[in-house]
């Protein structure tokens, strides 16, 4: 037994004398192995770590949500003077409501108006208004006159009402008479002018295109709106009510001449 231990020590000593590079100390080797054993034991469930490749430059960009874009593009500016918003046809069943070419936001359509024929009522047009320059814009409202009958319907936002409850024979417009926040104004069917009430100032009027137009881009019918009517909530209802009044006027003319189908 003693010989075996002595022989083992001799071999170790002999190996140490012959070695050119001294081996690591026993204590260091023991600590290193102990640490690696603990690390391997605690991280045995983790995949082996590898050195990742050099990262490419990161370019950070931001794009607003579609709703934010829509809001930026379609919120009308409020001017301190009357503005003529133009009705520009873009197809056989659609038109845009745009600021004049001289406005800073001239290239930003405010409303997209489209209509289609009522399959069951020949001559009746069902009209929809949306924000922006396409049929994908936010919904504003619609109307279906049912051939000029008072029981036509008009929709603003998510609410639908009978036309006779919204606009009366004296052309008083108020979508929700039970709400103090619902705008009320009056349309003169003959002159196509709108006022806030008897003795009060004019809010808007329909403008027929004429030879006084300076810029060819502005050669279109329009609606002249005073500053009091340029807020989006008011302008929504001015545009909607004017289109209804115009259609009623056209239907009446066609009925009087026997031209309505």
pLDDT in tens, 204-250: 999 998 867 778 888 999 999 999 999 999 999 999 999 999 988 88
pLDDT reported for residue 25: 56
Range of the domain at 204: 67-257
The pLDDT assigned to 196 comes to 85
Tell whether 133 is covered by a domain: yes
Segment holding 7, helix H or strand E: helix 2-18
- pLDDT at residue 4, rounded to an integer: 46
Of all residues in the chain, the percent with pLDDT exceeding 90 is 39
Predicted local confidence at residue 144, as pLDDT? 94
Query: So what's the pLDDT on residue 16?
Result: 44
- How much is the pLDDT for 69? 43
Phi first, then psi: give them for residue 232, nearest 5 degrees: -55, -45
pLDDT tens per residue across span 111-127:
999 999 988 887 789 99
**Rounded Cα gap, residues 259 and 261, in angstroms:** 6
pTM of the model: 0.69
146 or 40: whose pLDDT is higher?
Answer: 146
Is 54 part of any domain? Answer: no
Mean pLDDT of 29-56: 52
Residue 163 lies in a domain: yes
In a domain, 32, yes or no: no
Quick one: tokens of 224? Answer: 């002249």
pLDDT digits (tens, 9 = 90+) for 182-213: 888 999 888 899 998 766 789 999 999 886 77
Greater confidence (69 vs 107) lies with 107
The residue length of the chain stands at: 261
Q: Is residue 87 part of a domain?
A: yes
User: Residue 78 domain-assigned?
Assistant: yes
- For the cut 70, the answer to whether the pLDDT of residue 28 exceeds it is no
If one counts the domains in the chain, the total is 1
Q: How far apart are CA 65 and CA 73, in angstroms?
A: 12
Residue 34 pLDDT greater than 60, yes or no: no
CA angle, 234 as apex, 102 and 79 as ends, to 5°? 30
Distance CA 105, CA 1 (A): 103
Per DSSP bridges, beta strands 94-98 and 202-207 are unpaired
- Answer with the residue of higher pLDDT: 193 or 69: 193
Does residue 137 belong to any structural domain of this protein? yes
203 touches 185 (CB < 8 A):
yes
| pLDDT at 2 (0 to 100) | 44
Give kind and range of the element (H or E) at residue 116.
strand 111-117
Top mean-pLDDT range of 11-25, 126-140, 177-191: 126-140
Residue 70: the pLDDT is 47
**Euclidean distance between CA atoms 249 and 261, whole angstroms:** 16
Q: Which candidate, 209, 197, 201, places its Cα nearest to that of 82?
A: 201
Segment 152-172, tens digit of pLDDT:
999 999 999 999 899 876 678
In a domain, 172, yes or no: yes
pLDDT of amino acid 113: 98
């Amino acid at each position: 037994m003693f010989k075996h231990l002595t022989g083992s020590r001799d071999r170790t000593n002999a190996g140490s004398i012959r070695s050119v590079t001294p081996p690591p100390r026993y204590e260091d080797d023991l600590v290193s192995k102990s640490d690696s054993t603990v690390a391997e034991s605690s991280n045995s469930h983790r995949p082996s770590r590898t050195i990742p490749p050099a990262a490419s430059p990161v370019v950070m960009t931001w794009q607003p949500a579609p709703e934010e874009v829509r809001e930026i593009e379609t919120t009308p500016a409020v001017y301190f003077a009357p503005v003529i918003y133009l009705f520009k046809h873009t197809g056989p069943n659609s038109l845009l409501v745009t600021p004049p070419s001289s406005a800073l936001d001239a290239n930003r359509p405010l409303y997209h108006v489209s209509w289609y024929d009522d399959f069951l009522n020949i001559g009746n047009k069902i009209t929809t208004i949306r924000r922006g320059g396409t049929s994908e814009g936010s919904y504003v409202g619609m109307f279906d006159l049912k051939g000029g009958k008072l029981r036509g319907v008009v929709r603003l936002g998510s609410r639908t009402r009978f036309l006779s409850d919204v606009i009366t024979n004296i052309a008083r417009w108020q979508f929700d008479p039970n709400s103090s926040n619902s705008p009320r104004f009056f349309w003169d069917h003959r002159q196509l002018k709108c006022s806030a009430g008897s003795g009060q100032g004019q809010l808007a009027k329909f403008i027929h295109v004429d030879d006084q137009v300076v810029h060819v881009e502005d050669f279109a019918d329009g609606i002249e709106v005073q500053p009091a009517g340029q807020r989006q909530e008011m302008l929504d209802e001015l545009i909607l009510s004017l289109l209804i009044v115009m259609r009623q006027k056209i239907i009446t003319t066609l009925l009087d001449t026997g031209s309505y189908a």
